[in-house]
Amino acid sequence: MASRGRKALPRPLSRAPAGRLRRRRPSASSGTSPALPFGGSFRSGPFCRGIRREFMRGNCLYPLRATLATLGLIGAALPVCTPLPAKAGSYESCVGFCAIGSYANSPTCIARKAQCASSPSTPNASSGSGNYGAIAFSRRSHAYGVDSNSQTQERADRLARNGCLSVTKNAGDCAVEVRFSSTCAALAYSPSGVVKTGKNRSATVARADAVIACERETGQRCKLVTSECSP
């Protein structure tokens, strides 16, 4: 009996043996898969964290532009950092982020230093001449009050709290968060309400310590509220 003919089926595509699939090779420089400059592992690396710390602690008005300049994506002709106007107080507190770092000798920072040098350093007359200070902060309204020239710590606490209360309507919400004497102090907070402080002889280091401590505990981007130095 003659067998019935069958149509030949197409041959299946050849597949690579199991265990021999190709994988992307890791980046030779980092040892991890490559990532875009503003995302992934690069964003959480020490390079971007360093940029964020430097420009947050100095209240730089153009952090994105500063990042692009650091990456070499824009020229130095554009203004990278525009500091806030100088105010009366210690020279180091006035200079801020221009005291150290890669932009210390930039035209912007040179002008800033000259402005701070010519700005009068006048202590708060209502506080009297002293070296005790305090920073009071409202966690609801984010108002704050500062004193840095009191003769006693109790007086510094009272004046800082009164300064905070003069801004916010929540009478019971202003509390002294940090006390200092013959040094500098700074205060930072997170979107979730965590408050951290830093103290150091250098105002720049105190600001950085407050922001870093806040970000390390919360994993969020923290905001610097204020910093002050007592004589």
Q: Parse the chain into domains and list their residue ranges.
A: 42-118, 132-229
**What angle, rounded to 10 degrees, do the helices at 46-56 and 63-70 form?**
140
* Global model pTM greater than 0.85: no
Listed in sequence order, the residues at least 6 apart from 137 whose beta carbon sits closer than 8 Å to its beta carbon are 143, 144, 164, 174, 175, 177, 187, 189, 195, 225
CA dihedral 178, 194, 86, 75 (to 10 degrees): 140
d(C-alpha 41, C-alpha 118), whole Å: 44
pLDDT for res 81: 42
Instruction: Check the CA dihedral 196-201-207-209 and report its sign.
Output: negative
pLDDT for res 165: 87
3-class DSSP state for residue 49?
helix
d(C-alpha 131, C-alpha 151), whole Å: 6
Residue 57, strand partner residues? none
How would residue 172 be classed by pLDDT, with cut points 50, 70 and 90?
Answer: confident
Averaging pLDDT over each range in 40-44, 47-51, 154-158, which range is the top one?
A: 154-158
Number of H helices and number of E strands within the chain? Answer: 7, 6
Residue 162 has pLDDT above 80, yes or no: yes
How would residue 133 be classed by pLDDT, with cut points 50, 70 and 90?
Answer: very high
CA 107 to centroid of chain Cα atoms: 22
Residue 167 has pLDDT above 70, yes or no: yes
Place of tokens 């106007």: 85
Instruction: Decide which of 37 and 51 is more confident.
Output: 51
Instruction: Decide which of 20 and 87 is more confident.
Output: 20
CA 156 to centroid of chain Cα atoms: 27
pLDDT tens figures, 189-226 = 999 999 999 999 999 999 999 999 999 999 999 999 99
Alpha-carbon Rg for the chain in angstroms: 28
